[in-house]
Structure 1
Amino acid sequence: TLTARANLAVSYRQAGRTAEAITLLERVLADRERILRHQHPDTLTARANLAVSYRQAGRTAEAITLLERVLADLEQILGHQHPDTLAARANLAVSYQQAGRTEEAIAIEEQVAADAVRVLGHQHPGTLTARANLAHSYHQAGRTEEAIALGEQVAADRERVLGHQHPDTLTTRANLAHSYHQAGRTEE
């Protein structure tokens, strides 16, 4: 029942029905904490899902609080290098970015990208996503040349691994075009 409610809440969020998602996810989290306890994997997932919904609703400070707790628990349970821990760290970086904590977000994303290469391999889609997120953050921070250099690498890797028409490849190309524009490089 809790899983069904959690899935419905995520569907609400994906459909833009964020307020309904939050109401349902708050209940799911409370029930999972009561029944399964605070560090059960399903409880951590519920907490992370609620955090993403808070972030989508503009409740960034609340999202950060929850995500910091999820990350601490995952580091304790699974270790710093586990793929789930890396994903939680990347999710926290997105919230930091939304909160205007760009340098903190970049520091986390740099570590996530390095760890993803080591844990998942250079060509893994998760690694490519971590590197693409870092390139985007460089762009947002005005670190345009770094964004371009990394964006070009990610675009080439995504084309090779995912293909030229994959949505992630196209997004990377679009972000790279924005960085070229920001740098005044229209010939690219």
Structure 2
Amino acid sequence: MILIDFIVIGAAVLFGSIGAAVGFGKVLKMFAKGIVGIIASVLISYLLFSLVYHLSFVQSLLVKFTEYLQAQDNGFTKFLLTIRIDMIVVGVALFIVIRILIRLFASALAAFFSADVSLIKGFNSLLGGLLGLAFFVAIALIAMHVLYMVYGGEDSEVYKFLCGSFFRLDELYIHNPFAAVIEAIPTPAA
């Protein structure tokens, strides 16, 4: 085990402990409100964007939308097409839908887990700890993906620092699941 493994263990224990202490219901309420809710919505939108973008009915709507913009033939619509307004519209719509769903889901579950029954309290702590761990994993994967985008792959100092990790962080750095989302997003046609 190398230094980064101990850091990962410490951070995982910290996030898991905080999640267990706070409880699943309260963590969900945090997700539903404020900046944490927005970050959670962005993360989920980021993970689902490619899937939603490639759905056939979404593609057919986007084709009609871009054809309409191309028919207008003015500088503003050309600008909108250049910045890929179709992708922006899908991303914003997905974010809004996910934000609403998170608030509804969190409110329902928080009400259930606030019951004053010892079995539910124990389950609340267990799920809170697991949710805290999941939040840690998501943050770690995003951080590793950003580092990969900034510093590069196997030739980078970051990769060399992660080599030999017990948790195989070097492999996760190169084969990050978030990289598949970026690769699946289509590039604009020239």
Q: Which has the higher contact order (CA 8 A, sep 6+)?
A: 2
| TM-score for the superposition, normalised by structure 2 | 0.24
- Which of the two has higher C-alpha Rg? 2
